[in-house]
Structure formats: structure tokens, C-alpha cells
Amino acid sequence: MTKRTSLTIFKSVILALFLREIQTRFGTKKLGYFWAIFDAMLMVLVFAGLKSAISEKSMPGVDFPVFLASGFLAFFLWKNIVSKSIGAFSSNAALFNYVQVKPIDTIITRFLIEILVTSMATVVFLAIGLYFDFDITIENFNMVILAVAWLSLFGFSIGLFTAIIGTFYETFTKIVNIIMTPLLFVSALMYTVDSLPSALREIVLYNPLVHFIEMIHGNYFSVLDTKYVDYEYMFYWTFIPLFLALYFYRKAEKKIVSSR
Amino acid sequence: MIELHNVTKFYKTSKGKKYVLKNVTQTIPTDVNVGILGRNGAGKSTLLRMLGGIDFPNSGTISSDKTFSWPMGLAGGFQGSMTGRQNVKFVCRIYGKSDLEIEDAIKSVQDFSELGDYFDMPIKIYSSGMKSRLSFGLSLFFDFDYLIIDETLSVGDKNFQVKSKAALRKKIENCNVLLVSHSMPILKEICDAGIVVNNGQMTYYDDINDAINIYDDINKQK
């Protein structure tokens, strides 16, 4: 058998895993396309409805449903990258029978798929926005893309980290899963940080996701700014878990595959 | 050549560590077909997986510059939610086969494995015999230095057994085999050398008949 370089092997494994996951995700009778937009759509409808029911004043210069959609799409991208990474090792365990398939490949694949799914969902949302005549103009397109890319990497770091630690300490996975739900309410998704009372603002800013969402909102809407975004804080939250995860992965790759 | 150096492998159980191999150093020479014998639970399959590079010892190293097939066994090794066809495609892809080669592989595996309609059904509804037929049929499509076979030559009806043994004999003209089996005739027919796994030790015999005799002795003692 001809020797292939590890990069060639890596690429063919990722492609094979990618096609396999797409097939299971969007195969027949799975409603995959529907679920891809469901989460974010539901949240937009619920909170836009609530907002118009309970308060008259809204953000001037911002179409509130667009504000919600941009934040929730980004939030669910992050959340899905993390939670899909957590299950990646166990649901692909049978494929580790092939020497070429390394555990981290399954996480990279799921990461790519989540980005693809969110991109498709975003196109659907933009189309709906256009149809209903919402103001979907993006003030600073490049910065929004940068923020989303960075957010995805942040998700990858946390996902990989949790997947590795969770392989050996199951409790850790449970804790991360428990944190996920309340995050929805404390991540500046249905309000801006600026609109919060200052005491609350300080607490909320400890949540790294808030900075990412503010970075997206601030660059999306011309009337909003990014004065609360702390890039250094975001950097630490992305790269410390990433390097720790990669370090642990190097140590534990064989143990993840080994029978115990 | 496969070299094992100070290899220790154990499983943690509620009654402490259960050793499969304890501090084993051994060289398996090139160009021999090796049969692996041992009682149930002695660790034959684990040894096979470690030799094939998909399981790892707790300490020590196993090294070889050869290529190994995936272990073909009754346990499967396929993703249950995928159909036979999808699994064939998947394995071809990770080995970097082109679309044309994948078409070929699908055809030849479909013919060889005689799965009929099951080929397009999810693997989780397959019997263990069907899984190993798919696995073995697929492996024939690739060139490995070693085929790793775990108890799969005795599945299927008489016809299929004859067919797969013939296919294997043809295949091992160009490669070697590491074979776990409880069937002495098959071991004698295919293997040159033997390994007996017992009580955390593995012993290599240049002649498969010696290995079989030792294995018989072990069985008589118990």
C-alpha cells in the first residue's frame, strides 16, 4: 500500500466523516433542514413577541427581530459546536477501528458542519428578513464575520476541552451541559449591555459570550457600539482552553481510543 | 516485523487489575502467518487490536513499519446507523480512494458478501455473521501487509466458508495474516507460526503445531 502523508490522510478522513455526518443529519425523514433553523427561529419569535407585548419603547434605529436573530444565530452556533463536540468521541467510537481516524478528526468535522448549518440558516433568515422588509443592513460586514469566526473558534476550544476532560470525568460534561441553558439569558441576546443597570452590567461582563455577542451587535447596527467589548478577555477565553485542550489531547489521544 | 517491548495491558475491574499482558517483550518476524490461541477472555482480541494499532498498552511500546487492516471480527467495527453501502464508501474514502475506485469496491463487496437487500439497510440490524462478511469482503479490496482476522472464517453457510477461505488463501500470497481462531484445522491450514496467550503472558512458537499442542495442554489442566 502506497504511503500517504499525514496531511493527505487527515484530509480524506475529514471528508469521509463530513459526508457521513451530513448524510445522517440531512438524510431522509430526519427533518434536518427544519432543525437547522428551528432553535433560533423559535427564540426570535418568542422574544420579539414578548417585547412587543410588554413594552412600547424599543431600540431606536434597530429592527428588534434582526437584533434577536443575529445574536441567537451566533449563540446557537457556539452552543451547538460545544455540545456536538462533547458527544463526538462516543458516537464515533466504532470508527476508531480504522487507524486513520483520530478522535480529534470527529470534533473538527462536527465543527465544520455546525458552521455550514449556521451559514445555511443565516441565508434563510436573511431571505425572510428581506421578504418582510426588515432593515438587515450590516454596518461593518468584515468585523461581523471576524466576530463570528472568533466565536466559532471559542466554541471549538471549549468543545474540545470538555470532550477530553469529559472522557475521563463524566461529571464535567454534565456541569457544562447544565451551564448551557441559563447562558441563554445572560449573554446579551435580548438586550444590550448598555441598557443594563451598572451593577448588573459588571456581573454580566464576566461572561465571555457577552463580549462576542456585543461585538457582533455593535458592528451589525450603526446605532450600537462595541465600547464594552474586551478583546483581551475574549482572547484569554479562546486560547487558554485551546492550548490546554491540545496539550491534554496529545497526552490522552491513545487513552481515548484504548479499551479500559 | 512487529516488536513488542515491555508491553503491559490490563483492564480495571472491581476486583482489581486484570492483566492481558504483563511485561511482554517479543518479536514477531516478517513474512509469517501467525495464529493466536488462548482461552476465552485471555485477551486474544485485545492483543490483535494492539498489534493492529487501534488499541494501546498501558505501558511499553509496540512498533512496526507494516500496514494493518482493521480487525475483522464478529464484534463489528462499523457505524450502526450507516448502511452497508455507506460504510463501504466511508472506508474507501478514509483510504483515499477515488470515486471510480469506490464504485468498483461497492460492486465487488456487494457481490462477495452476498448481503442482497441488506446491503442498503443499516448495519445495526445485521447479524454478526453478516457484519463479518461485509468486513472481510471489503478488506479484500485493499492491500495491507497484514490482515487482522478475529474468528470470522467460520461464519455463513458452507458455500460462503469455502468461498472466503479460497479468497483468503489467494490474498495471503501477497500479504500476511494475524488470525484468532478456535478452529484448529483452519489454524493449521493457514498459519505458519503461533502465539499462545495465557495468564498475562504471550509465547511465540515458530511452528503452529507446537502452539496448538501447548494450547491443548493448557485446556487439559483446567
Residues B201-211 have pLDDT tens digits of 999 999 999 99
A178 vs B: CB within 8 A: no
Cβ distance B94 to A16 less than 8 Å, yes or no, reads yes
Instruction: Say what the pLDDT of residue A258 is.
Output: 86
The gap from C-alpha A135 to its chain's centroid, in whole angstroms, comes to 25
ipTM metric: 0.88
A4 vs B: CB within 8 A: yes
Residue A1 lies in a domain: no
Q: What average pLDDT score do residues A91-100 get?
A: 90
Question: Is B50 within 8 Å of B9 (Cβ atoms)?
Answer: yes
- What is the model's pTM? 0.91
Residue A98 lies in a domain: yes
* CB within 8 Å of B218: residues ≥ 6 apart: B39, B196, B198
Instruction: Say what the pLDDT of residue A57 is.
Output: 64
* Residue A244 confidence (pLDDT) above 90: yes
* Residue A120 confidence (pLDDT) above 60: yes
Reported confidence tier of residue A34, pLDDT bands at 50, 70, 90 = confident
Cβ distance A257 to B55 less than 8 Å, yes or no, reads yes
Cβ distance A258 to B95 less than 8 Å, yes or no, reads no
A208-238 confidence digits (pLDDT tens): 999 999 999 999 999 999 999 999 999 999 9
Reported confidence tier of residue A2, pLDDT bands at 50, 70, 90 = low
Superfamily of structural domain B1-69+144-222:
P-loop containing nucleotide triphosphate hydrolases (3.40.50.300)
Instruction: Say what the pLDDT of residue B153 is.
Output: 66
Cβ distance A258 to B143 less than 8 Å, yes or no, reads no
- One-letter identity of residue A96: F
* Residue A1 confidence (pLDDT) above 60: no
* Residue A90 confidence (pLDDT) above 70: yes
Helix (H, G, I), strand (E, B) or coil at B54: coil
Angstrom CA distances, A248 to A93, A251, B59, stand at: 19, 5, 18
* Residues of chain B with C-beta less than 8 angstroms from the C-beta of A4: 96
Instruction: Say what the pLDDT of residue A29 is.
Output: 63
Q: Of the candidates A13, A94, A100, which has its C-beta nearest B77's C-beta? A: A94
Instruction: Say what the pLDDT of residue B73 is.
Output: 74
Instruction: Say what the pLDDT of residue A30 is.
Output: 66
Residue A85 lies in a domain: yes
Q: Residue A18's closest chain B neighbor by CA?
A: B90
- Which residue, among B220, B210, B221, B155, has the nearest Cα to B37 in the 3D structure? B210
Instruction: Give the integer Cα–Cα distance in Å for B115 and B136.
Output: 12
Cβ distance B70 to A19 less than 8 Å, yes or no, reads no
Q: Of the candidates B86, B94, B143, which has its C-beta nearest A23's C-beta? A: B86
Question: Is B3 within 8 Å of B181 (Cβ atoms)?
Answer: no
Phi first, then psi, for residue B194 (nearest 5°) are: -140, 155
Mean pLDDT of chain A: 91
Q: Calculate the CA dihedral of residues B86, B89, B95, B97 and round it to 10 degrees.
A: -170
- Which residue, among A53, A48, A51, has the nearest Cα to A65 in the 3D structure? A48
Question: Is B55 within 8 Å of B77 (Cβ atoms)?
Answer: no
Q: Of the candidates B11, B53, B79, which has its C-beta nearest A95's C-beta? A: B79
Cβ distance B93 to A97 less than 8 Å, yes or no, reads no
Instruction: Give the integer Cα–Cα distance in Å for A122 and A74.
Output: 10
- The number of beta carbons lying within 10 Å of the beta carbon of residue A129 is 17
Instruction: Say what the pLDDT of residue B74 is.
Output: 65
Angstrom CA distances, B16 to A192, B11, B13, B59, B219, stand at: 56, 8, 5, 17, 25
More confident residue, B135 or A160: A160
Instruction: Say what the pLDDT of residue A179 is.
Output: 92
* Per-position b or e across B6-39, b if 16+ CB within 10 A of its CB: ebbbbeeeeeeeebbbeebebebeeebbbbbbbb
Q: Residue B75's closest chain A neighbor by CA?
A: A94
Instruction: Give the integer Cα–Cα distance in Å for A19 and A113.
Output: 10
Mutation site for B-interface testing, chosen from A95, A100, A101, A251 by largest number of B Cβ within 10 Å: A95
Instruction: Say what the pLDDT of residue A202 is.
Output: 93
Extract the residue ranges of chain B whose pLDDT is less than 70: 74-77, 152-156, 222
Domain count, chain A: 1
* Residue A254 confidence (pLDDT) above 70: yes
The pairing of strands B201-205 and B193-198 is: antiparallel
CA distance B160 to chain A (A): 25
Instruction: Give the integer Cα–Cα distance in Å for A176 and A183.
Output: 11
Mutation site for A-interface testing, chosen from B94, B144, B147, B149 by largest number of A Cβ within 10 Å: B94
A8-27 confidence digits (pLDDT tens): 999 999 999 999 988 888 87
Range of the domain at A70: 6-257
* Residues of chain A with C-beta less than 8 angstroms from the C-beta of B55: 257-259
A171-181 confidence digits (pLDDT tens): 999 999 999 98
Instruction: Say what the pLDDT of residue B133 is.
Output: 86
Strand partners, B5: B61
* Residues of chain B with C-beta less than 8 angstroms from the C-beta of A19: 89-90, 93
Instruction: Say what the pLDDT of residue B78 is.
Output: 81
The pairing of strands B59-64 and B2-13 is: antiparallel
Domain positions in chain B are: 1-69+144-222, 78-143
Instruction: Give the integer Cα–Cα distance in Å for A237 and A243.
Output: 11
Instruction: Give the integer Cα–Cα distance in Å for B34 and B1.
Output: 12
* Residue A60 confidence (pLDDT) above 90: no
B68 vs A: CB within 8 A: yes
Instruction: Say what the pLDDT of residue A35 is.
Output: 78
